[in-house]
Amino acid sequence: MRANGTEEPAARASDPRSEPRACAPVASDVPVEDDVEDDVEDDVEPPSPWIAEPALPPHTEPVLDRLLDASIVFSFDRTGYRRHAKGFAPGDLDVDLTGQTCLVTGASSGLGIEIARGLAERGASVHMLCRDVAKGEAVRETIDGARAWQLVVAPIDLSDFGSIRRYVQTHAPSTIDVLVHNAGVLPDARTTTADGLELTVATNLVGPFLLTHLLWERLRADARVIHVSSGGMYSQKLDVPTLFDPPEPFDGVAAYARTKRAQVVLTELLHDRSTRRLSSMHPGWADTPGVQTSLPRFRRVTKAILRTPAEGADTALWLAASPAASSPEGRFYFDRAPRTTHLSRRTHERPEDRTQLWRTLCERIGADPDTAFR
């Protein structure tokens, strides 16, 4: 049942009006938690001449857009962002967030820095949740000094249930307007956490779920909760046993993409239970420290066309701050527009898969699946 008493849909059909902007066969837009803080934006080379968009008559532009988006590369890359940005409504992010309290996980690196910066620049009080507090403090000092007082750095390790509970007990604010789940990991080897979970699913899915659960009563009734997912999720189907117990040999990219698929489904499930404004998004291919560390070969090939971290973070910031994004309805966004969540029939989950995900997550954090998040 939904919060309003109506029957909860078992699964969602993709919105036929949402034109897919292509998919990534690999999870290459990786916002890895608390990685290197180097500002990589200046390190991106200008795009090569061969990727320049051709100048065509105006009547051909919609056709060209569809062709470029279907290419994957020219949708998720820098040129894709700049082409899509031509359709952004002017003033969407000209907002005053004074008085709002926002939480951003993984805020000491990559997309997290840009999301925290954007919220603070618009007047919000921003809590930067970081595994490494020293890194977080160093990042805080790089943000405009006039805004630095609005940034609070707090310790949290999303792979560790004890760390999450300590954060909520000792550092979490009493009321929250925005919660951005940005932190994530893409390990190259299988690791088991102290709570008995594989590291990828613990950090990217179960930990954020526990944090949301513990903060639920502190989230305002109209609070915005955003999951930073990945275009890589298009390559994976929701399969709960494989999600929690990846097969051998361990494939870090596939394990990461499975958690990102699960984030998108979880966002829909939470939306169906709540009045809070739930959404998920993916940033495209952005040149973050996570990509540099976890996908070095991919970056060597694509470095010249990767988005800047600010471009990758734009949709998450828009979902967190813009009045135009006030009714996301649990949907999946890319470049400020809702997108289909499936591009292949083989990735569609069954209603029982969605139920299994919900019950398994609730079981892992010790919550009642029938009453949690109501």
Active site residues: 256
Contact 168/365 with Cβ under 8 angstroms?
no
CA angle 188, 287, 108 (to 5 degrees): 75
The amino acid that residue 266 corresponds to is L
Q: Give alpha helix (H) positions in 94-239.
A: 110-121, 133-142, 145-148, 161-170, 199-201, 207-215
Spatial distance between the Cα atoms of 140 and 129, rounded to a whole number of angstroms:
12
Residue 192 DSSP label: B
Residue tagged 């820095």 (tokens):
113
Q: What single-letter amino acid sits at 248?
A: E
Cα Rg, the chain, nearest whole Å: 19
For CA atoms 123, 152, 364, 350, the dihedral sign is: positive
| Cα distance between residue 271 and residue 100, in whole Å | 22
Q: Which amino acid is at 220?
A: R
Alpha-carbon span 155 to 170, nearest angstrom? 10
The string of DSSP letters for 85-126 reads HTTSPTTTT----TT-EEEEETTTSHHHHHHHHHHHHTT-EE
